Amino acid sequence: MTDEQPSQGTALDRRILHELEPEAARLLNRHIGVAEEWFPHEFIPYRLGRDFDKEPWTPDHPRLTGVAQTAFEIGLLTEDNLPSYHRLIHGMFGSGDGAWINWVGRWTAEEGRHAIVLRDYLTVTRNIDPVLLERGRMSQLEKGYEHPFPDTLHGLAYVAFQELATRIAHRNTGRYSDDPVADRIMARIAADENLHMVFYRDMLKAALQVEPSAAVRAIVDEVLGFEMPGAGIPNFLRKAADIAKAGIYDIRVHRDDVLMPILRFWGIFELSGLDAAAEQARQRLHEHLEKLDAAARRFEERLASSNVPRLGPAR
């Protein structure tokens, strides 16, 4: 599909969106019932702030250094692209004022707090050059997140994995920072991301009851082609490699802590009655997971003899 062709135009999407509207309403109401209101300003140590016109930022200011800085920069610039993500998810779920679109509004409003609290923290504490952050924000929003409108099943599969990946990356970034303020902020953001993941995960669980073969094919497509939305950030591959070496987000985390829990929840390998294409896709998924496991072992073996500070296993 092209950017000019939202997913709700297909017959399959229209049927899924219509049949699952009551479930979307139920899950939205459940989410609202458990989500906690919070305020970014309550997490920021404003007492540490100084005027930049009187005391310009210099590289000796940050308490965060190295990989911790890199992880926070990637996290913030990824969150900055919310307008693009909103556009894509709105296109995926259709128009009007039903439960699907009400969810998009709620999700967007909650996600908007994340960039606010991260930027305020990094600016007030002088942990990253504010000029670099603003230029990065401008670049991200000018480019946007270029991606074709996904159909409903592919979109639900991707965001379920992506929200969990973001939750774990943020939570581990906070732990790695060795800063109680940063850790508290990232734990708060991670709690939001987890609830968002649960909505998408449970919606696709319901979709598996409606269109099991099509849903399995979509899930496998998204696992095999998975890419974090921050991949367009300049020097992302190098920065992602540093983050992986630190244990914040690596192949093992991706396979064992992101893919496998959701795949088990969906019972992907226990489903019966699939068509031939879905069965073939499921076999490709099994082979891909085996390859990821082998790649993770090789990565861990290479790191075993290095002196790179690495995060512990409590993810």
Give 157-189 pLDDT, tens digit per residue: 999 999 999 999 999 999 999 999 999 999 999
Its CATH class, for the domain covering 7-304, is mainly alpha
- Report how far residue 254's alpha carbon sits from residue 237's, in angstroms, rounded to the nearest whole number: 16
Please identify which residue in the block is written with the tokens 């005391």. Answer: 55
Domain residue ranges of the chain, discontinuous segments joined by +: 7-304
- Which one-letter DSSP state was computed for residue 56? -
The torsion angles phi and psi of 261, rounded to 5 degrees, stand at -60, -40
Q: Which of 294, 285, 297 is nearest to 157 (CA)?
A: 285
- Report how far residue 206's alpha carbon sits from residue 195's, in angstroms, rounded to the nearest whole number: 17
Q: Which of 261, 275, 265, 153 is nearest to 207 (CA)?
A: 153
Q: What's the pLDDT tens digit per position in 21-60?
A: 999 999 999 999 999 999 999 999 999 999 999 999 999 9
pTM over 0.75: yes
Calculate what percentage of the chain has a pLDDT beyond 70: 94
Q: What's the pLDDT tens digit per position in 262-285?
A: 999 999 999 999 999 999 999 999
- Token representation of residue 240: 């992602």
